[in-house]
Amino acid sequence: MRQGGRSGAHAGSMAAALHPGDLARGPGRGSVRSRGSKGSMGSKDSSSSTASDPRERVKDCCRKLVAFMCTQVGVGGLVVGYALIGAVGFRSIEIKEEYPELEEVRVRSEQTAVELWLISQELNVLNESLWRQKVDAALVGFQGAIVEAARKGYDGRTAEDMWSFPAALMFSLSIFTMIGFGNLVPRTTWGKAATVVYAVFGVPLYVLYFMNMGKVLAQTFRWLYTRLYECSTERPAGSTGPGPRVIVPSTACLWVISGYVLTGTIMFAEWEQWSYLDSCYFCVTSLCKIGFGDFVPGAATINGGHKVTKEEEEETSNQTRLVINFVYLLLGLGLIAMCYNLMREEVRVKVRQLKDDVGHCLDELHLRAATCYRGPSPEQDYMY
């Protein structure tokens, strides 16, 4: 009986301790939890359905692609891809065109040869003076035809000879880098229109490449220069933490550009059989984006010269050199951007130092002027 009373009292106290609302809900708390778990499961299902949506996947991939293209590697790859697309496009447009000047010159040369043969048969070199007069007249007429064809754009090359893939690649590079060598130009209407459109989109892309590549190369060169500077100088004993920021001097940038130009001078002189002066002249004018066009790498391959087209192996070697020249110019323009960034940083530091020095000088002059205006102090009068 005591145990039953105790158990009843214990049950009553537990019931009194519970809130009436809790008693009313009873097992409903478990249902609330189950609803909460169901809601979380529903949110997971909605997120998984969103992730599995093809449209969302495409949008996510596009965002990632755009973000990658804005990086330094993406911009560099975009420039190279743009140049390759331009080379393929211009080559496919221009090689389909047949130049009428080539046919006119061929027909004229055959007619001149027949005319010279008839003159030789008629006179049989018995009347040498008359034979010379007629031959000279025939040759003068042939020269006039050649000059007229040259005015229309004839230079002895066929479309296949002119628009090889390396030559078209150099042409694409000369468009969006604004070098404009001028040795290879489109002659078709579609080629000229494509050049305009290609330049409109290519020049901003090159400016973006110029800025991004300049930053990357500037950071890399600054890091290397800082490490070399720290290795060559001794830090004070007991100093901890990073030292002062090292500014790359302009002389270091000039040394880098000079070494790059020297490398190109030797390379082009050996490959193109130019003199060292002409090779250096080409490197400087190309990296400065002057582009006169009087010296162009791979001219033998572009012009379809017989010296390099006799053997297929030699022709392939020249085309490989032309691709290397493309890489040389593209990397050289990036180095120009690097030097621009580093020299701009040095100029900013120098201008800031000059501003501080001028401020100190003005403050000192103002203090001296104020001292002279107030006159000598009473202590100085007493001394006198």
Q: What does the pLDDT average to over 146-163?
A: 78
Tokens of 227: 């490490």
Task: Give whichever of 17-31, 125-139, 152-166, 208-222 has the largest mean pLDDT.
Answer: 208-222
Q: Cα separation of 76 and 334, whole Å?
A: 10
Cite the DSSP H helix spans in the chain: 2-17, 20-25, 28-51, 54-69, 72-94, 100-123, 128-151, 159-162, 165-176, 189-232, 250-272, 276-287, 299-302, 306-309, 312-374, 378-383
Q: Name the CA dihedral angle for 301, 307, 312, 317, rounded to a multiple of 10 degrees.
A: -50
Q: What is the signed CA dihedral for 129, 135, 139, 141, rounded to 10 degrees?
A: 100
Q: How far apart are CA 208 and CA 349, in angstroms?
A: 25
* pLDDT value of residue 23: 40
What is the arithmetic mean of pLDDT over 50-70?
75
- The confidence band for 242, taking pLDDT boundaries of 50, 70 and 90, is low
Average pLDDT, stretch 134-157? 80
> Which position has the token pair 């790498």?
297
Least trusted range by pLDDT, from 133-142, 257-266, 271-280, 297-306: 297-306
Q: Report which of 176, 188, 160 is spatially closest to residue 78, judged by C-alpha positions.
A: 176
d(CA 15, CA 25): 14
> What is the Cβ-side half-sphere exposure of residue 5, based on CA atoms within 13 angstroms?
2
Residue pair 326/169 in contact by the 8 Å Cβ criterion: yes
3-class secondary structure, 219: helix
The residues, ordered by sequence, that sit 6+ positions from 264 with a Cβ below 8 Å of its Cβ are 279, 283, 328, 332
Position 214 pLDDT exceeds 50:
yes
pLDDT at 96: 81
Q: Evaluate whether 337 touches 273 at the Cβ level (below 8 Å).
A: no
Q: What is the mean pLDDT of the chain?
A: 77
Phi/psi of residue 298, nearest 5 degrees: 75, 25
pLDDT at 238: 62
97, 157 contact by CB (below 8 A): no
Give the pLDDT band (50/70/90) at residue 108: confident
Alpha carbons 333 and 289: distance in angstroms, whole number: 9
Higher pLDDT, 136 or 68: 136
pTM more than 0.75: no
163: nearest Cα among 69, 66, 80, 92: 92
**What pLDDT is stored for residue 265 in this prediction?**
95
Contacts of 249 (CB under 8 A, 6+ apart): 346
Domain boundaries, the chain: 100-157
How much is the pLDDT for 37?
47
- What's the whole-number mean pLDDT along residues 6-26? 43
Is 51's pLDDT higher than 60? no
Average pLDDT over residues 284-308: 70
- At residue 315, the pLDDT reads 59
Residue 82 has pLDDT above 90, yes or no: yes
Q: Residue 239 — left, alpha, or beta (φ > 0 → left; ψ -120 to 50 → alpha)?
A: beta
